[in-house]
Amino acid sequence: MENLELQKIANEVRKGIITSVHSAKAGHPGGSLSAADIFTYLYFEEMKVDPKNPHMDERDRFVLSKGHTAPGLYAALALKGYFPVEDLVTLRKLGSYLQGHPDMKLVPGVDMSSGSLGQGVSTAVGMALGAKLMGKDFRVYTLLGDGEIQEGQVWEAAMLAGHRHLDNLVFIVDNNGLQIDGRVEDVCSPYPIDKKFEAFNFHAINVDGHDYDEIRKAFQEARATKGIPTVIIAHTIKGKGVSFMENEASWHGVAPNDEQYEAAMAELERIGEGL
């Protein structure tokens, strides 16, 4: 798929995020918007998946370890055709299958329930290990937050992944630099992220997480890397695409009000028209 196509889809993903979080009056727009290009690349370019057959045995797996950015995942899944885009407005509402954090039992296309930080990565390691044990050649992807990697369990998981040479596994760190309480380096610095993963026997790649040439190259490099898992550190902008949300930690877990919703959607419309 051409970069332009991916950019157009990502812009629709961002609209889905704003629409669903506004409708829910709660949710996490900042980290969903920063990861929108990653979600788009994974579902529309990288992964072998079939929305008509979400449980296909040989499908690639994705675990959203930073589960609070479910609005981004849901929007990408809806646009891919797993469920109607119209359902996004039911996010977080009583009776909706679109729970605040992803539920594998309810949402078509969700391979693992997640939300408690640090836990998704371990399940992704289990899937990659299982593929090796069963002689299957599918690949496993998991998306983490840069705040999330403060969780010790992430490093337990990384240690086992490196030890077991899981080259069918890709960690992606959405390095938008902000967590709820502020800048990650002020709260409890996870840096240097690449060196840490390299010490855990990963191949580490730094990319601009909004540049599809760089994203494409990184995922290709991950496929070509044998004998060790890969981590892609995606340098992103929290709130990307909605100017008043960009680089503002306060937009981590707050929904836009009606006025802000209108402004955000208008801005995304303009971006879309410009593509």
239 binds other proteins (CB under 8 A): no
**CA 100 vs CA 29, 46, 152, 196, 199: distances in Å:** 12, 26, 24, 31, 34
119 binds other proteins (CB under 8 A): yes
Under DSSP, is residue 231 helix (H, G, I), strand (E, B) or coil? strand
- Using an 8 Å Cβ cutoff, are 21 and 91 in contact? yes
Restricted to residues 204-233, the positions that interact with other proteins (CB under 8 A) are: none
125 binds other proteins (CB under 8 A): yes
| Residue 111 CB, nearest approach to other proteins (Å) | 7
How big is the site for other proteins, counted in residues (CB under 8 A)? Answer: 32
**89, 129, 254, 265: residue in contact with other proteins (rule CB under 8 A):** 129
| Residue 165 CB, nearest approach to other proteins (Å) | 13
CB atoms within 10 A of CB 40: 29
CB atoms within 10 A of CB 130: 13
Residue among 245, 241, 270 nearest 255 (CA): 245
**51, 54, 108, 115: residue in contact with other proteins (rule CB under 8 A):** 115
| Residue 127 CB, nearest approach to other proteins (Å) | 4
263 binds other proteins (CB under 8 A): no
Distance between CA atoms of residues 3 and 150, nearest Å? 33
| Residue 123 CB, nearest approach to other proteins (Å) | 4
Restricted to residues 92-111, the positions that interact with other proteins (CB under 8 A) are: 103-105, 111
Cα-Cα end-to-end distance for the chain: 15
CB nearer to other proteins: give 153 or 225: 153
53 binds other proteins (CB under 8 A): no
CB nearer to other proteins: give 69 or 260: 69
CB atoms within 10 A of CB 152: 9
Q: DSSP letters of 187-199? A: HH----HHHHHHH
- Which range touches other proteins (CB under 8 A), out of 2-10, 18-26, 115-123, 266-274? 115-123
| Residue 54 CB, nearest approach to other proteins (Å) | 13
Strands (E), 40-195: 61-64, 140-145, 169-175, 178-179, 182-183
Restricted to residues 154-173, the positions that interact with other proteins (CB under 8 A) are: 156-157, 159-160, 163
**CA 55 vs CA 48, 82, 248: distances in Å:** 12, 11, 38
Q: Could you list the residues that contact other proteins (CB under 8 A)? A: 63, 103-105, 111-113, 115-116, 118-131, 133-134, 152-153, 156-157, 159-160, 163
